[in-house]
């Protein structure tokens, strides 16, 4: 939810509710797959189950969902960050579901720090949009 909060505050796609649903559903699927492997794996000696197989399928589904967020308009591509955040939220959900809380917390913390540093670098090195449009208009005159 915290990941999506940042996106919603910026009026970006894949915001608060979307990323909450992605993360919680990935957590649920991972927990269910682990517990079902334990529960059903003990019922028969010949029964072999891979609890992380559903988690591997989550990754394919997240790729499909993320691809739907990416839009191309001429030479501009929009939605890549939203797609990456959906993928990240899914990874957070899988990690929480598998019980790797420390790694998940560290990765979320590091990702937020790096995102803020990236934003600062982009703002420092990019020309403001108003000046870009002004320069483009002046080219035609």
Domain ranges of the chain: 2-102
Question: Could you please report the per-residue DSSP string of 47-102?
Answer: ----TTHHHHHHHHHHHHHHHHH-EEETTEEE-HHHHHHHHHHHHHHHHHHHT-HH
Q: What is the Cα–Cα distance from 131 to 136, expressed in whole angstroms? A: 8
Tens place of pLDDT for every residue, the chain, 141 residues? 667 777 777 777 666 777 777 888 888 888 888 887 777 777 667 767 777 788 888 888 888 888 888 888 888 878 888 888 888 889 999 999 989 999 999 988 998 888 888 878 877 877 555 554 454 455 555
Q: What is the Cα–Cα distance from 103 to 96, expressed in whole angstroms? A: 9
Long-range pairs of 60-64 with CB within 8 A, sequence gap ≥ 24: 62/22, 62/26, 62/86, 62/87, 62/90, 63/87
């Amino acid at each position: 939810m915290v990941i999506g909060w940042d996106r919603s505050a910026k009026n970006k796609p894949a915001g608060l509710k979307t990323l909450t649903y992605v993360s919680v559903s990935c957590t649920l699927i991972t927990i269910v797959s682990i517990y079902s492997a334990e529960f059903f794996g003990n019922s028969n000696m010949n029964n072999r189950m891979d609890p992380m197989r559903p988690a591997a399928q989550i990754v394919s589904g997240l790729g499909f969902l993320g691809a739907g967020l990416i839009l191309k308009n001429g030479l501009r591509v929009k939605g890549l960050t939203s797609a990456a955040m959906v993928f990240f939220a899914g990874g957070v959900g899988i990690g929480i579901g598998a019980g790797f809380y420390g790694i998940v917390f560290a990765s979320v913390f590091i990702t937020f720090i790096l995102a803020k540093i990236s934003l600062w670098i982009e703002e420092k090195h990019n020309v403001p949009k108003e000046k870009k449009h002004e320069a483009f208009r002046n080219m035609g005159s």
